Structure 1
Amino acid sequence: MLITTTMTTIFDKQMNIAHQLKGADLFTLTVFLTAARHLNFRAAAVELDVTPSAISHSVKTLEQRLSVRLFNRTTRSVSLTDAGERLAMKLGPAMSSIADAMLEVDDLRATPSGTIRINASEGAIRMVLRPVLARFLREYPQIHLDIVNDGKLSDITGDGFDAGIRLAEAVPQDMIAIRLTDNIRFAAVGSPTYFAAHGRPAVPQDLHQHDCIRFRFDSGAIYRWEFARQGAVETINVNGPLTLTDQPLMVDAAIDGIGIAFVPEHLALEGLCDGRLERVLDDWCPSMPGLRLYYSGHRHVSTALRALIATIAKPQ
């Protein structure tokens, strides 16, 4: 295929830019953007699998080359200067385009390879990813999975993830979402010994007289229990002796007789089946849209990510 004059001009311009960047290669710019996203050199080092001193040295080298300070650094905090903010805003889309171009070329390989970064809640990891991990990594040995357990509903694009897994209601509207599970039902459960000592709530409002095991989001907010029956909706701000950020631990606490837990039904099934747990308010417990894997429609979807999606969807 002949290269036109226009293409030659474009290549010449790109080569000139590459020459200008010889003191600040792609890795240095990647380090800068990662540090700018985290505002924490140690966190950037963990993500890039280098030492914090390597991050600091790379940033210092870039600042010296540009003759401008990009970060304000103290012993307690890191923040972007005005120049740093401007550089990050300009570099972000450009580096994203470079990454997409590399992924498209990488997809020409016969075997899917590379790293897939997934952001998901702990429940999603246990329910969707854990059952397929061994099979997936055995079938695709050239793929590395980097799974982050995160309950803060992170911006997956801004934070450098390839995809996220969340309940459907938590997926941003501008994302492409793939259904992974049927609707998820919640269950209010407690131990037989707890109900023998405290009685059983007949309606959601009765929970105010019970010990409840509360759930705290990573944001710090306490989950308010949501019930529904025949069009009537009840939202209860429960109280109790224990607040946790881990739903499986809530189930364990309910089994131990500490109080009533309100959790996704699948987490409590084992205890319900062997009699260590009993249901209450069953006709009030709602179902909600299940888990979705989602990703940006504005970025290239690698063959590695497509392979993961196919593996999750494939019956064992």
Structure 2
Amino acid sequence: MFRIDRNLTADDLDKALRADVIEGLSVEPKRLPPKWFYDERGSALFEEITGLPEYYPTRAERAILERHSQEIAEAADAVALVELGSGSGVKTRLLLDAMLGHGRLKRFVPVDVSGAFLASSAQRVAQDYPGLDVHAVVGDFEHHLGLLPVNEHEGPQMLAVLGSTIGNQEPDERAGFLRDVHATLDFGDSFLLGVDLVKDPARLVAAYDDAQGVTAEFNRNVLSVINHRLGGDFDPEGFDHVSRWDAEQEWIEMRLRSRTHQHVRVADLDLEVEFFPGEDMRTEISAKFRREGLTKELDTAGFTLTHWWTDPAGDFALCLSTAG
């Protein structure tokens, strides 16, 4: 069975983009949210990034799922899997296979902001798993958690956020998101979270600044999105890609650094912006975690960490918590 709820329209996305660009280009230092990387070209570039030798997170998380998905299925003992930011769902199939093999899974709820992409990937899941109820939801999980079709069936749910997506949020945003996830679940439900771990800064920086320059193109693509969708006249090649490790915050920052003095106009917003030579605009943070700190964050939100799995190199972790 396949069905799809649409809590986010193209008009909603346009309004959100406009608001983010107006706000981000009007503050100092300038910033843009990373979710606007992902038009069709941006998504293709990110898929290319995941296969680069420097970019370990996707391989490491998959290695954990290949080794431990059965343990995850047994520990969660869930009748429904809700995945936020489901994307292509490649890694998710390892979970689905294990949970179906465990014998209790009845329903899969993939959630993503891209309606066309989600519909296509979710329909493929429904075709490949004919006994599974696939209930896709188009929505922004930072705003639409309360609209998710959870707890419709008796039995425990497992909500999953893979790929260290949570690392893109600043600490206050992350705390609010974890509280919202907890409020979405019932007592005893499970929360599966993928997180990238603190490691050698040189490896971290290289993962976000590959030798082939794919990440640089991915970073500059946010300017192309603004040009295409809002009538901007950014020159993407007028900005250098910068990846730096913030040791105090323990996160990677991606920035775009203006090469020259530039005046940019965004016609649809009637907005003019000035960039000075060497001025940085932040486009992404990617926080890295330690077990002790993450345990405290989960505890504050009402979760109890029960399981912790890492890849053989200890680069990445999947942690399972229960809602108290």
Q: Could you state the TM-score of these two structures normalised by the residue count of structure 2?
A: 0.28
In proportion to residue count, which structure has more strand? Answer: 2
Which structure is larger by alpha-carbon Rg, 1 or 2? 1
